[in-house]
Amino acid sequence: MKVKEIMTKFKSWPLCAQMITIIIPIFTILVIISIYLFGPSFSFVDHHMSTLGTQSANPNGYLFFDIACIITGILLYPFFYGLKHWATEDKVLNYILYLIIGIGFIASFGIIMQAIFRGDFGYLHFIFSAVHWVADFVFLAIAPIPLLRHRKFYRRNIIVCIIATVFNFIYVISIGAYPWIEWITAVLSLVFAVLIGVNMVKEEIPPSF
């Protein structure tokens, strides 16, 4: 398939699918580079995600992780905005949908700010990290309410959402005591976002603009 044809097809996708398609490779590549520069001592069990973005802990690779978070946070704004296409004729459900979109914006803001105020900034980083993870938990917990009522939404996608919500809840109430739970939560949240994008493409939901 020619590049022009690929771009034409990409432009026909809904905004959620477009954004997550851009986010996944950028975030993955930059995080892998950051892990590589951290060195062999890095462990998903012992190190939080933010450790990769802390200059004192990862002097050679912290910028890659922080840039990954900033780019991801920025691109998640249009992703969450694109969820408006899951609106139905039920006004109450639509209010909830707009609520989760707003919560998604807050989660995105938290991602950006915790990267700007990396781990070296102490309590400021902790505050913005908490903003992100709490907002992410609320989003995952409430998202099924409006999405499941839409006739084109694939109900099997909610399985991933529920599992992500459970891990997120454990991470939040434990105040980040288990780094590996943070990693699993992040991965599952992105997988859920991917499933939403794929769902929208398969059901030929139009682009937002």
For the stretch 185-200, pLDDT in tens is 999 999 999 999 999 9
H or E segment and range at residue 109:
helix 91-116
Between the alpha carbon of residue 90 and those of residues 12, 78, 95, 147, 209, the distances in Å are: 27, 23, 9, 12, 23
Q: Which stretch of 109-118, 121-130, 174-183, 199-208 has the lowest confidence by average pLDDT?
A: 199-208
CA 90/CA 29 separation, integer angstroms: 41
Do 161 and 140 contact (CB within 8 A), yes or no? yes
pLDDT at residue 205 in the model: 83
CA 134/CA 165 separation, integer angstroms: 11
In the chain, domain spans: 15-202
pLDDT at residue 70 in the model: 98
pTM for this prediction: 0.93
Q: Given the structure tokens 């409006």, which residue do they identify?
A: 146
pLDDT at residue 11 in the model: 86
Q: Is 24 helix (H, G, I), strand (E, B) or coil?
A: helix
Do 155 and 106 contact (CB within 8 A), yes or no? no
Q: Please, which pLDDT band fits residue 207 given cuts at 50, 70 and 90?
A: confident
- Mean pLDDT for the chain overall: 95
Contacts of 193 (CB under 8 A, 6+ apart): 16, 20, 23, 79
Q: Which stretch of 1-10, 23-32, 86-95 has the lowest confidence by average pLDDT?
A: 1-10
C-alpha 48 chain-centroid distance:
16
Both tokens assigned to 73: 């946070």
Burial of residue 72 (CB within 10 Å: 0-12, 13-18, 19+) is buried
Q: Which stretch of 3-7, 29-33, 46-50, 196-200 has the lowest confidence by average pLDDT?
A: 3-7
